[in-house]
Amino acid sequence: MQPIVSVKDVKFSYPAGVSALKGVSLQVGQGERVALLGPNGSGKSTLILLIAGLLMPTKGSVEVFGQSTASKDFQKFRSRIGVVFQDPDDQLFTPSVIEDIEYGPKNLKLPAEDVAARSAHVLEKMGIAHLRDRAPHRLSFGEKKKVSLATALVLKPELLILDEPTANLDLVSRRGLIDTLNELNEAGTTVIVSKHDVEAFPELADRVIVISHGCLLGE
């Protein structure tokens, strides 16, 4: 079966000359739950941005759904991928929590009842119903993190990529996140999560990929 994600010998350097990835190859199959584990600075966020097609490799290739992220057709595949950035300030941009959560589903032109049902579900699961009408930029980091997770979960994407989703989450929201991810995974969503500690791994992933200094260390 064709993998959903295929990363081949990818090198990536930031403009300042920092070599963040030094030759990374990995494949992720349909319906897999994969965790990317590595210390701060090992290249997790860079790899996630490359898989999401938001950065382009300096060398090597990244294919998602069989399509190179460098191809000009890749934009069409964007709506099938949900990404949650490590920093929620990169994710949230509307005046209220509910507008941020409903932005994606409305953009996909889903029926209004469907948008309302989906947003109510993620608000409840992430324990943020009380934040519904609040301004995202005034929330605490942990609250923002939950809202940014909700903006991706609500899309029910085929591929969901989450950068350190459990950092700063309280136990209730962590439980809600794991339950929602498992719900989506059972419905066919492929999940990639990054983490810098091993806590909660068995519940989040079937396979762990270890990254260190821009290289994968094997599984």
Look up residue 155 and give its amino acid.
L
Q: Enter the tokens of residue 194.
A: 């990054």
In angstroms, give the least distance from the CB of 38 to ligand ADP: 5
Asked if 14 touches ligand ADP (CB under 6 A), the answer is yes
Residue in the structure block whose two tokens are 């301004």: 135
The neighbour count for residue 51, using CB atoms within 10 Å, is: 26
Asked if 46 touches ligand ADP (CB under 6 A), the answer is yes
Asked if 166 touches ligand ADP (CB under 6 A), the answer is no
Residues of this chain that interact with Mg ion (CB under 5 A) are 44-45, 86
Asked if 145 touches ligand ADP (CB under 6 A), the answer is no
In angstroms, give the least distance from the CB of 42 to Mg ion: 8
Largest CA distance in the chain: 49
The neighbour count for residue 202, using CB atoms within 10 Å, is: 10
Q: Which does 46 bind (CB under 5 to 8 A by kind): Mg ion, ligand ADP, none?
A: ligand ADP
Residue in the structure block whose two tokens are 């990254």: 211
Question: How many residues bind to ligand ADP according to rule CB under 6 A?
Answer: 12
Give me the residue whose beta carbon is nearest to Mg ion: 45
Q: How far is CA 57 from CA 68, 89, 194, in A?
A: 11, 24, 19
Where on the chain is the footprint of ligand ADP (CB under 6 A)? 14, 16, 18, 20, 38, 40-46
